[in-house]
């Protein structure tokens, strides 16, 4: 039986009431969703478009039974940055974007294939391939592997040399975000990233570090610069393994949504439909030039606070995001945010991602006195953070993908009966 709500999943509030509720969801997803294209070199307008369209597709695939907003996934930042090869705040050439998008389309296909396998065989095989020791370690790599990127952004901006004034602005943005996350309550407590960006932007503006030339030159209306994908093996091999991490994140978000709404979405409409909706949304994003999608914890937080679960409200937020994508001034304003401001935010954000990996390991009760767990986590961390790569002719497997591949293989081949360190110590004492 559903928990009493202000507005339930299938309720359709009048437009005058739905609009401010939808704007809350738009604000909640906005900071994180536009940060991804800013960091990797994609167009923010296309990203807003793919986020809105992806959310509507997700609602359609799940029969309008699951309230969820889909935004840019952070798990792919490192690999997309390597594939696109541009500095934060810049947009990569269309040919590079096309190759990366081919990999993103295949990520969506993997989601759908896994969804079909779940519908047929259940979820036990996922736990076998991706236990917490693998997923937690990979998530730590995602955050810690980007640490240098965040610090360089904060201290150098878009340049190559250290600038003390940039770092001060970055620290201001970081401080505002931390204060917002620590002390604000209600809806404002859900959007500390957006508040930090806005506050840092104001500080940068006062310091004379904001350039409005692109905003002044922006047109009133334009179709987003969509890019069709090109399928190359290198990009596919680099991006596909990361989808395994996001799949587990998706499952976690759905479980949290179950608790908040008071329904079992794992059964109705089913995890397979939810994951397939995410996969189709990601594939469509790749078809137009947007990053892979994922369900957003920020929007789950908005639902928890407001007790408004209506898919109509979330659908309207998606339509607003699509409308914004056709307003070039929005994209120009986003690109006018100084890199150092985003760097300050990323110091917090990437650290939170790494901490989420640690939390997974702790909550799962991973015993690192067992050699098996110790070996798997250690190898994943060093390969992923150390920047190890494999070159097979023109094919390159980057550190993030390589760490995931190696972690999965080690988990499958290492015997589960490896003795604990205590057992080894006891044997040594006996000798």
- Using left for φ > 0, alpha for ψ between -120 and 50, and beta otherwise, residue 2 falls in beta
Q: Does the pLDDT value for residue 431 go beyond 50?
A: no
**Burial of 326: CB neighbours in 10 Å, binned 0-12, 13-18, 19+:** middle
Please give the mean pLDDT across all residues of the chain. Answer: 90
Q: Does the pLDDT value for residue 169 go beyond 80?
A: yes
Within 10 Å of residue 65's Cβ, how many Cβ atoms?
17
Nearest to 313 by CA among 2, 5, 11, 6: 11
Pairing of strands 390-392, 293-295: unpaired
First to last CA, the chain: 62
* pLDDT, tens digit (0-9, with 9 covering 90-100), for 103-126: 999 999 999 999 999 999 887 888
Which residues on adjacent β-strands are paired with residue 7?
A: 308
Tokens of 116: 């079909």
Q: Does the pLDDT value for residue 2 go beyond 50?
A: no
Cα 124 to Cα 86, 209, 254, distances in angstroms: 40, 52, 17
| pLDDT at 127 (0 to 100) | 79
Q: Does the pLDDT value for residue 417 go beyond 80?
A: no
| pLDDT at 422 (0 to 100) | 52
For residues 318-347, give the mean pLDDT: 94
Gyration radius of the chain's alpha carbons: 22
| pLDDT at 413 (0 to 100) | 94
For residues 340-369, give the mean pLDDT: 92
Contact 346, 193 (CB under 8 A): no
For residues 34-55, give the mean pLDDT: 95
Please tell me which residue, 64 or 427, carries the higher pLDDT value. 64
Contact 275, 111 (CB under 8 A): yes
Q: Does the pLDDT value for residue 424 go beyond 70?
A: no
Listed in order, strand segments (DSSP E) in 244-309 are: 293-295
| pLDDT at 418 (0 to 100) | 63
Which residues have a Cβ under 8 Å from the Cβ of 17 and sit 6 or more positions away? Answer: none
Contact 170, 200 (CB under 8 A): yes
* pLDDT, tens digit (0-9, with 9 covering 90-100), for 377-414: 999 999 999 988 888 776 778 888 899 999 999 999 99
Measured CA to CA, the distance from residue 264 to residue 214 in angstroms comes to 48
* pLDDT, tens digit (0-9, with 9 covering 90-100), for 220-275: 899 999 999 999 999 999 999 999 888 888 988 898 899 899 899 999 999 999 99
For residues 314-343, give the mean pLDDT: 94
- DSSP secondary-structure letter at 364? T
Tokens of 343: 């760097």
Q: Which of 58-72, 237-251, 277-291, 384-398 has the lowest mean pLDDT?
A: 384-398
Q: Does the pLDDT value for residue 419 go beyond 80?
A: no
For residues 159-173, give the mean pLDDT: 95
Count Cβ neighbours within 10 Å for each residue of 285-300 and write b for 16 or more, e otherwise.
bbbbbbbbbbbbbbbb
Q: In the block, which residue shows the tokens 């296909």? A: 109
Which residues have a Cβ under 8 Å from the Cβ of 337 and sit 6 or more positions away? Answer: 38, 89, 197, 200, 201, 204, 210
> What pTM did the predictor assign?
0.85
| pLDDT at 4 (0 to 100) | 47
């Amino acid at each position: 039986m559903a928990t009493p709500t202000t507005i339930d999943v299938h309720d359709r509030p009048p437009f005058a009431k739905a609009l401010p509720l939808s704007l809350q969801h738009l604000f909640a997803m906005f900071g994180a969703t536009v940060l991804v294209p800013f960091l990797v070199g994609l167009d923010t307008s296309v990203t807003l478009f793919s986020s809105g369209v992806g959310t509507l597709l997700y609602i359609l695939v799940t029969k309008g039974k699951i309230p969820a907003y889909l935004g840019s996934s952070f798990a792919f930042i490192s690999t997309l940055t390597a594939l696109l090869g541009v500095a934060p705040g810049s947009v990569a050439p269309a040919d590079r974007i096309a190759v990366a998008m081919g990999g993103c389309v295949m990520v969506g296909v993997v989601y759908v294939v896994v969804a079909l396998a779940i519908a047929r065989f259940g979820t036990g095989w996922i736990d076998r391939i991706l236990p917490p020791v693998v997923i937690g370690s990979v998530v730590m790599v995602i955050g810690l592997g980007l640490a240098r990127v965040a610090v360089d952004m904060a201290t150098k901006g878009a340049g190559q040399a250290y600038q003390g004034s940039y770092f001060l602005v970055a620290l201001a943005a970081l401080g505002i975000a931390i204060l917002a996350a620590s002390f604000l309550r209600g809806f404002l407590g859900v959007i500390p990233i957006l508040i930090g960006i806005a506050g840092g932007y104001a500080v940068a503006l006062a310091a004379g570090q904001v350039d409005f030339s692109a905003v002044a030159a922006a047109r009133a209306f334009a179709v987003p610069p969509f890019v069709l994908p090109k399928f190359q093996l290198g990009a596919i091999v680099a991006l596909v393994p990361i989808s395994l991490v996001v799949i587990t994140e998706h499952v976690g978000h759905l479980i949290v949504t179950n608790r908040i709404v008071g329904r079992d979405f794992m059964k109705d409409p089913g995890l397979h439909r939810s994951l397939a909706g995410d996969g189709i949304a990601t594939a469509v994003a790749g078809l137009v030039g947007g990053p892979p999608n994922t369900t957003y914890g920020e929007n789950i937080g908005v639902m928890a606070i407001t007790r408004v679960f209506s898919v109509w409200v979330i659908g309207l937020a998606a339509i607003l995001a699509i409308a914004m994508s056709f307003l070039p001034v929005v994209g120009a304003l986003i690109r006018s945010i100084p890199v150092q401001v985003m760097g300050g935010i990323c110091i917090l954000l990437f650290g939170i991602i790494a901490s989420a990996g640690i939390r997974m390991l702790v909550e799962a009760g991973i015993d690192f006195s067992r050699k098996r767990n110790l070996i798997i986590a250690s190898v994943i961390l060093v390969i992923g953070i150390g920047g190890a790569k494999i070159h097979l002719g023109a094919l390159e497997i980057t550190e993030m993908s390589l760490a995931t591949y190696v972690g999965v293989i080690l988990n499958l081949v290492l015997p589960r009966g490896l003795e604990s360190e205590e057992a080894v110590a006891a044997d040594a004492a006996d000798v």
